[in-house]
């Protein structure tokens, strides 16, 4: 049996190195749009697969992140939230890894429940 207890309001995720992001809930439409964007990367080797995964995480973040804390520009001032900044943030492995784990955790649990 599936439990329909997914978040419906924006919420904060603590990522790493003092970075927090406020995100929209992970909806089917948001995840599918990110998957579609990531699928544009061609190739069947491991490098292409890694690039698709990185693109998926970046696209998810660009669609989901609505605020952030702990992100500074090159002068140490709080960075403006925009798509380029989110992409740059997600290019940092510890941040991208934490974002994927934390943001998709509820969906992974939902998927596990259906297989139980």
DSSP string, 47-63: HHHHHHHHHHHHHHHHH
Distance CA 97, CA 101 (A): 6
In-domain check, residue 15: yes
Residue position matching structure tokens 């943030």: 89
In-domain check, residue 106: yes
In-domain check, residue 24: yes
In-domain check, residue 64: yes
pLDDT tens-place string over residues 31-76: 888 888 877 766 666 666 677 788 889 999 999 999 999 999 999 9
Half-sphere exposure of 110 (CA within 13 A, CB side): 13
> Tokens representing 46?
């491991």
Identify the DSSP state of 74.
Answer: T
In-domain check, residue 91: yes
In-domain check, residue 107: yes
The answer to whether residue 19 scores a pLDDT higher than 90 is yes
Supply the pLDDT for residue 30.
Answer: 87
Percent of the chain surpassing pLDDT 90:
54
Q: Terminus-to-terminus CA distance in the chain, angstroms?
A: 8
The residue segments making up the domain with residue 69 are: 11-114
In-domain check, residue 73: yes
Count of domains for the chain: 1
In-domain check, residue 60: yes
Percent of the chain surpassing pLDDT 70:
77
């Amino acid at each position: 049996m599936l439990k329909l207890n997914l978040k419906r309001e924006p919420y904060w995720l603590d990522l790493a190195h003092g970075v927090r992001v406020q995100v929209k809930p992970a909806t089917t439409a948001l995840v599918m749009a990110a998957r579609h964007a990531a699928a544009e990367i061609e190739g069947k080797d491991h490098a292409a697969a890694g690039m698709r995964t990185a693109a998926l995480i970046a696209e998810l973040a660009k669609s989901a992140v609505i605020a952030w804390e702990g992100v500074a520009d090159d002068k140490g001032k709080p960075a403006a939230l925009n798509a380029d900044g989110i992409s740059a943030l997600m290019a940092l492995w510890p941040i991208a890894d934490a974002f994927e784990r934390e943001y998709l955790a509820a969906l992974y649990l939902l998927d596990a429940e259906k297989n139980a």
